[in-house]
Amino acid sequence: MEIKDFSEVSSASSGLEIPDLLSIQLDSFRTFLQSDTTPKERENIGLEALFREILTITDMRKNFALEYVKYELGNPKYLAEEAIEKMASYTVPLKVFLRLIKRESDSGKIKEVIEEEVFLCEIPYMTDWGTFIINGIERVIISQLHRSPGLYFTREDEEYAALLIPYRGAWAEFVIDKNNILYIVLDRRRRINAATFFQAMGLSYEEVFKLMFDVQKRPLAEGQVIAANIYGDNQVIYAEPGDIVTTELIELLSSKNIQKAYSIDGNIDGITVIIKTIKSEKKLTQEEAIKKIYTKLRNMAPHSTDIAKSIILGMLLDARRFDLGAVGRYKLARRIGSERSTAGMGLKKEDLFLIIKKLTEVKENRIPPDDIDHLANRRVRRVGELLENQIRNALQQLTQNIKERVTYMDLAKSSPNDLVNSRIVANAVTKFFTQNQLSQFMEQTNPLTELTHKRRISALGPGGLTKETAGFEVRDVHYSHYGRICPIETPEGPNIGLIATVATYAKIDQYGFITTPYWKVKDGVVTKKIEYLNPQEEEDFCIAQANSSIDTERKFSSKEIICRKKGDVITVTPDKVDYMDITPKQLFAPTTIMIPFLEHDDADRALMGANMQRQAVPLLVPEKPLVATGVEANFAVASNTVLTAKESGTVMKVDASNIVLSTEKGLKEYKLKKFVKSNQYTCLSHKPLVIPNQKVRKGDILADGPSTDNGQLALGRNVLVAYLPWYGYNYEDAIIISEDLIKADKFTSIQILEFEIQARDTKLGQEEITRDIPGVSEDELSALDQFGIIRIGAKVSPGDILVGRITPKGETEFTPEERLLRAIFGEKAANVRDTSLRVEPGVSGVVIDRRILSRHYSDSLTKDIETDRINEIKQNYELKKRFLVEQLNQKINRILIGEKAKINIHEQKGKLILKSGEEFTKDILQQIQSSKIRNLQKSIGNDYKIKEINQSIEEHERSIKQLTKNQKYEIEKVSRGDELPHGVLKSVKVFIAQKRKLSVGDKIAGRHGNKGVVSKVLPREDMPYLEDGTPVDIILNPLGVPSRMNIGQVLEAHLGWAAKILGYQAVCPVFEGATIEEIKAEMKKAGIPESGKVNVYDGRTGELFDNQIVIGYTYIMKLVHMVDDKIHARSTGHYSLITQQPLGGKAQFGGQRFGEMEVWALEAYGAANALQEMLTIKSDDVEGRSALYNALIRGDNPPAPKVPASFSVLVKELAGLGLELIPEKEKK
C-alpha cells in the first residue's frame, strides 16, 4: 500500500530518528551492574561503588580487616524463555572476592591474609527487552519521580525557610521568623536558635560575621555594625559584635583615641537578621550550647559532651550521616553559586553561611522562592538506583552483622565465608523484586502497553507521595513538563497526575533529571547540532516552536518568532532565539503520538484515547490504520514485538517455529513465539514475513508479532462507520455492529487461559496424578492420556477433567462387611478422594499446550517427560550440527571457487573430478564429500587461502565442541529434574485457547476516546446502506461527538474514506497532520461530497433517511474488557465462614448482593415472603438452609426460616458493648 504523508515537517527535523525507547530501563541497569566490563576496568559507580564504600571493615582493636577485592557475575542457570516455562527466576549468581587480614594483637604485624570468593546472592538479570523474570512471571521496575536532594527556598506567611534535603540523612531547615530571628531545625524536630548552634560549632560571633559579611577595618560612621570586640584599657569592652554605631559610641571611642574598627555597612542584606539572632540569645560556652541543644532535641541531658557534640554537628557536617550525594551537591552548588567540586558529598561550614546569606536575599525579595513542582526540583530514580539503595541497606546490615560475629568467633580459624551471612543480601533483593510498590506485574495486553509500562514514572512508592496526601499542584501539568513528561497520558481516577509517562524523545541524565532535545540556534540560523537541556538549563533561553518556518539555508523565514521562556509565550526577533524544538512529537508519549488529529481533540478525550490504545487486544488478523501518524513501524520495533534481523544475510529456512539466516558470521537462528500466553491472557504469536533465499539487511523485519501488520503496529481494524441514531439501540454510547464483522472474523481475538494443579506430599501420603480416579465414568476420562493429563487438541467445556488427581483420605474404622468388600475388591478406591483439576464454569476452548514439571523420581510419568525432553535436545543438537557443517561448506566454497587445483582431485571411488590446473566451481565442490573438503588445502597453492581454510576448520571444530558441551549440560539438567516449591512433587499446567468473536457486551473504542459497548448485532440486510448498496459496518451515535469535543474522529472518518477509495495510507503526525482544505481536496479526488455526508437508506424499510449522514472509515479497536470475562451466574456455592453469607465476585464464584436499595424495591411491591427468603435461607440462615434442603428432598412444604447468622453477629456485637439482648421466645 502506498503511503501519503501530509506532515508539513520543517526541513529542520526531517530524517530525525526516534531514540531507543527502552534505554530508560536498559542503560540504568547496565550502568549499575557493569556486567560487560572486566573487574579491573569497572568505574566507581553502581554496585562497584557500594562494595568499595561499605565492604571495608576493621574491628575496634584493629586485629583484623576485611577488604573488598572485586565482584564477578556467573552465567544464568536458565535462558529467559526457559525461566518463564519452568516457573523459575532469570538470575545470575553474584560472587564477591574478599580479603581477610589478621594481625598480631601486640605488634600489629600481619599474621595471615586469606582471599576468598563469597557467594552473595542470585541477582535478577534484566532481559534484552527491559523486564525481569521472577518465579516465571515477567515484571517491570518502574521509575520513581521524587523531590531531588538539594536546597529549596520557601515562603509561608511572614516566615522564610531554606530546606536542605540530603540524598541520605535527616532534613535540615533554616527559618527566619516574623521577628527576623534565624532558627535551625534538625530532623524536623524543635527549632534551635542559630546563635546557640554557632556557639555549639565553636564559632565566636566575630567569626560568624567574618564568614557572613565583608568585614574590614574602617573609620567608624553612624549606622555601621560592629563586627569584633572593641577593647579599651584593662581589657574593658566598649562594643561587641552586633552593636550599632551611634554618635555617642563614636565620641566615646574618639576620646580613647580609637578611630578605626572592624565593622560592616549597616544596610547590607541579612545584617538585621544576624544582629537580632545573636541579641536574642545570651552568650554561652561551646559546652553549654551543646548541652542546651541536646536537651532540647532529646528531652534529656547528655551523658558526655563529646558524644553530644558528634551527634549534633554530625547531623549536618558528617558526610556519612548527612550525604548530599552527587545530585544534592550539584543542586546546592548551582543554588548558592559555590563553585566547589562535587567531590565531597557532605556539607562544610562555609556552605551553611552561604545558605543563610541566600535565605536573607530571598527575604529581601532579591531572588524568588522555589517552585517545588518544577522538574528542575524533581528527579527520576531508575531501576539501577532503586536496586542500589536496597542493596546499600542490606550491605550496611551485613557489616553490622560481621562486626557482631567477630566479637564471639575464633578469628584464628575463621575465613571470609565464615564471617559473611549472605542471606541478608539475598532476602533484601528478593523482597525488592517481589514486594516493592515499584516492582509491578508487567502489563502485556498488546505491544504498546508493554512499551508504555517500561517508560512509566510514578510519584508514589517508598520515599514518594501517597494518593491521599498528594494535592492538586503535584498532579497538575507544569510548563517544565514540556518535552519531558507527556501532559496527556496518565490514569483516570485516584492516581491521576501521580503516574505519568516519559515523552518520546526525552532522556534521563546522570543526575536523574529529564532532558529534552533542541536544535541549537546561532544568529537566527538553526544549526544541525542537537543539545539535550535539563529543566534548569532551559530556564534562561528563548526556544522556538518546531513548526516555525525556516528556509533552505535553515534561517527563520519570519521576522517575528513565537518562543517560550520560563513558561511564558513571547515574540522575539530571530537573533534572540537560542534553541528550537526538534519536532512537535517531542511533547508526547508514544501512545499519545499514535492518535491522528490529536490537535482537534479535547484533552480529556485524548487522555482516554491514549489509555484505551493500551487496552486493545491483539486481533486474529490485525490491519494497519488507513489514517496513521507515521510512528507505527518505529514502535513495533521498539517494543520488541516484531522480529528484526540482527545482521544482513540470506534466508536459508523458514517455518512456523523458526527462521534461519545465513550471514557472514555464520548461521543465525531466530525462534518464533507460537500461541504464547501474555500476562493479561492475550495471545502472543509470530508470523514469518520472509521467504527462503530472500536477501535481508540488518534491521529488516523477519516476522510480525501480535498486533502488527507488515511491521506496523496495528491495534484494530478499519471499518465503515455511519453516525446516526438507530431505533434507540445506540443510546448513551451503545454501538450497533453488522453481523458481517463477526462472519469475517474482523474483531476475533484469542484468549489463552492457564490452569494449574500440583501433586503434593501430604501428611496422609502423596497425592498422585493419575487416570485411575474413583467414581468417574470412562466417558469423562476419554480425553485424558495414560497418565491422566488431557491431550493437546482436545475440546473442553465446563466441568471437564483436565488433570486427574487423587488425594489420600484419613483412615476411618470399617465395619466387618466393609473390611470383607475391601479384601475382595482391593482397598485403593476407599481411602482416596477425587481432587482432579476441572474446567471452571463459563470456560470452554481447545487445549493448546500442557507443561509438566516434576522432581527427579522414578515413576513412569517422570521417565516419560525426561525421555521426551532428552529426545528434543538431541534433535536440536543434530539440527544445529547440520547447520554448522553447511556453514563450513559455504565458507570453504566461498574461498575455493575460482582457485586452480595444484593436483588432480579424485572422488572416493577413484573417479577423476578435477584435473590439476583447472578451477574449482560450485558443482565440483558439491560432488566432493564434506569429509574431503577439509583436506582440500593440500590441493591449492595460495598460502593465504590455505590459512583461511584452516581458520574456518578450527572455528568449526570449536563450535562443534561447544555445542556438544552444551548438549551434555542440557541433558544433565533434565536428569536432575525441575526445581519445585517445598512439598510439591509435580506441577501440571494446561493452556486452553478460546476464540473470542465480537459479541454484545464487548467494549470497543476508537483512538479519540470514543468508546462504547456493543448493544446489538444486526444482520447485513438490516444495516443502513449507501446508494451503491454497500452496508455500513458500525453505527455510532452522533450525540457522542459535540459534547465530547473530539472532532478528530470525524476528520479521521473523512480522510479514511478518501484513503480507502484512492488506495493509500494517510500519514498525519500530531500537530502536523492534514488540514481541512487538504482533506477536502482528497475527498474531491475520491469523488466524495466535500461535506462528508451522503444519502443513506434504512436497511429495514429500504427508505431514504430524512437527512444526509456522515460516513467514513474509522480505526476501531476491541478492548480487553470482554463480556466473556465478566458474565457470571450462581445457583449455590461457597459461603463466608463468619457471616455465613454467599461470597461476592466472579473469582470467588459468588452471588449478587441483594442490597439495601433492592430490599426497598421488594418492600414497595409488598413481596414479603420473597423478601424473607432473600434475607434468610438464601443468605445466612444456616439452620433454615439445611431444613429447606431436607424438606425439598422429602417433598414436604418448606419450613419457616430460622434466625439469620447476621442477627446473631449483631447480638454478639451488642454483648461486647455490655448490652444483653434476649429474644422474646427464650425469655418465656
Q: Model confidence over 328-339: pLDDT tens digits?
A: 989 998 888 876
d(CA 356, CA 183): 10
DSSP summary character for residue 100: E
Confidence of residue 913 (pLDDT cuts 50, 70, 90): confident
Which pTM value belongs to this model?
A: 0.90
Single-letter residue type at 1223: P
Residue the block writes with cell 543542586: 331
CA-to-CA dists, residue 1029 to 643, 738, 893, 1022, 1099, angstroms: 42, 14, 63, 12, 10
d(CA 995, CA 858): 39
Q: pLDDT (tens digit, 9 = 90+) per residue, 86-129?
A: 899 999 999 999 999 988 887 778 888 999 999 999 999 999 99
Find the distance separating the first CA and the last CA of the chain, reported in whole Å.
90
Give Cβ neighbours of residue 535 (< 8 Å, ≥ 6 apart): 374, 375, 376, 480, 484, 513, 514
CA-to-CA dists, residue 1210 to 12, 1065, 1206, 1219, 1222, angstroms: 75, 68, 6, 11, 12
Give Cβ neighbours of residue 734 (< 8 Å, ≥ 6 apart): 1012, 1013, 1014, 1015, 1016, 1037
d(CA 210, CA 221): 19
CA-to-CA dists, residue 574 to 542, 560, 929, 1087, angstroms: 10, 7, 74, 44
Dihedrals phi, psi of 611, to nearest 5 degrees: -70, -35
Please state the separation of Cα 226 from the chain's center in Å: 60
CATH fold group of domain 643-704: OB fold (Dihydrolipoamide Acetyltransferase, E2P) (2.40.50)
Dihedrals phi, psi of 708, to nearest 5 degrees: -135, 145
Dihedrals phi, psi of 963, to nearest 5 degrees: -60, -45
Selection from 1004, 1030, 1003, 1036 nearest residue 729 by Cα: 1036
CATH fold group of domain 214-267: Molybdopterin biosynthesis moea protein, domain 2 (3.90.105)
**DSSP H or E stretch at residue 525:** strand 525-533
**DSSP H or E stretch at residue 1018:** strand 1011-1018
Domain residue ranges of the chain, discontinuous segments joined by +? 23-141+382-450, 214-267, 465-593, 598-639+709-747+999-1118, 643-704, 749-803+824-862+977-996, 870-970, 1128-1227
Q: pLDDT (tens digit, 9 = 90+) per residue, 1027-1039?
A: 999 999 999 999 9
**DSSP H or E stretch at residue 432:** helix 423-435
**DSSP H or E stretch at residue 703:** strand 701-704
**What's the grid cell of residue 140?**
517491570
**What's the grid cell of residue 99?**
580479603
830 pLDDT above the threshold of 70: no
Instruction: Please list, residue by residue across 1160-1191, b when 16 or more beta carbons sit within 10 angstroms of its beta carbon and e when fewer do.
Output: eebeeeeeeeebbbebbbbbbbeebbebbeee
Q: pLDDT (tens digit, 9 = 90+) per residue, 619-667?
A: 999 999 999 999 999 999 999 999 999 999 999 889 999 999 988 877 7
d(CA 1154, CA 174): 59
Average pLDDT over residues 439-461: 96
819 pLDDT above the threshold of 90: no
**What's the grid cell of residue 963?**
555445542
Contact 1082, 1073 (CB under 8 A): no
Q: In what order do the strands lie in the sheet with 832-834?
A: 768-769, 805-808, 832-834
Length of the chain: 1228
Same fold for the pair 643-704 and 749-803+824-862+977-996: yes
Dihedrals phi, psi of 898, to nearest 5 degrees: 95, -15
Would you list the DSSP string of 363-392? Answer: HTTSSPPP-TTSGGGEEEE-HHHHHHHHHH
**What's the grid cell of residue 185?**
531545625
On whether the 749-803+824-862+977-996 domain is CATH 2.40.50.150, my answer is: yes
818 pLDDT above the threshold of 90: no
Strands (E), 125-190: 132-134, 137-141, 143-147, 150-156, 159-165, 172-176, 182-186
Q: pLDDT (tens digit, 9 = 90+) per residue, 573-610?
A: 999 999 999 999 999 999 999 999 999 999 999 999 99
On whether the 465-593 domain is CATH 2.30.150.10, my answer is: yes
User: What pLDDT sits at residue 14?
Assistant: 60
CA-to-CA dists, residue 110 to 66, 104, 576, angstroms: 13, 6, 69
Q: Are strands 110-124 and 132-134 parallel, antiparallel or unpaired?
A: unpaired
Burial of 1207 (0-12, 13-18, 19+ CB in 10 A): middle
**Positive or negative CA dihedral for 36, 41, 45, 49?**
positive
**What's the grid cell of residue 1153?**
448482593
Selection from 709, 630, 626 nearest residue 1060 by Cα: 626
Q: pLDDT (tens digit, 9 = 90+) per residue, 238-262?
A: 888 888 888 888 888 888 888 888 8
User: What pLDDT sits at residue 247?
Assistant: 86
Selection from 846, 848, 770, 845 nearest residue 803 by Cα: 770
CATH fold group of domain 23-141+382-450: Rna Polymerase Beta Subunit; Chain: C,domain 2 (3.90.1100)
User: What pLDDT sits at residue 1226?
Assistant: 60
Q: Between 1 and 390, whose confidence is greater?
A: 390
Contact 180, 273 (CB under 8 A): yes
User: What pLDDT sits at residue 626?
Assistant: 97
Q: pLDDT (tens digit, 9 = 90+) per residue, 988-1004?
A: 999 999 999 999 999 99
The angle at the Cα of 787, spanning 782 to 793, to the nearest 5 degrees, equals: 50
**What's the grid cell of residue 765?**
501420603
Would you list the DSSP string of 844-890? Answer: -EEEEEEEEEEBS--SHHHHHHHHHHHHHHHHHHHHHHHHHHHHHHH
Domain 1128-1227: CATH superfamily is RNA polymerase alpha subunit dimerisation domain (3.90.1800.10)
d(CA 23, CA 40): 26
Selection from 566, 710, 562, 576 nearest residue 642 by Cα: 710
User: What pLDDT sits at residue 711?
Assistant: 93
User: What pLDDT sits at residue 375?
Assistant: 95
Q: pLDDT (tens digit, 9 = 90+) per residue, 520-549?
A: 999 999 999 999 999 999 999 999 999 888
Dihedrals phi, psi of 819, to nearest 5 degrees: -60, -40
598-639+709-747+999-1118 CATH choice from 3.40.50.720, 2.40.270.10, 3.30.450.20, 3.50.50.60: 2.40.270.10
Segment 1195-1201 long-range contacts (CB within 8 Å, at least 24 positions apart): 1201/1172, 1201/1173, 1201/1176, 1201/1177
User: What pLDDT sits at residue 1137?
Assistant: 83
DSSP summary character for residue 948: H
User: What pLDDT sits at residue 496?
Assistant: 96
Contact 556, 531 (CB under 8 A): no
896 pLDDT above the threshold of 80: no
Choice among 305-309, 783-787, 993-997, 1067-1071 with the minimum mean pLDDT: 305-309
User: What pLDDT sits at residue 880?
Assistant: 81
Give Cβ neighbours of residue 189 (< 8 Å, ≥ 6 apart): 297
412 pLDDT above the threshold of 60: yes
The mean predicted confidence, pLDDT, of the chain is 90
Q: pLDDT (tens digit, 9 = 90+) per residue, 298-320?
A: 888 888 888 888 888 888 888 88
Selection from 686, 716, 720 nearest residue 702 by Cα: 686
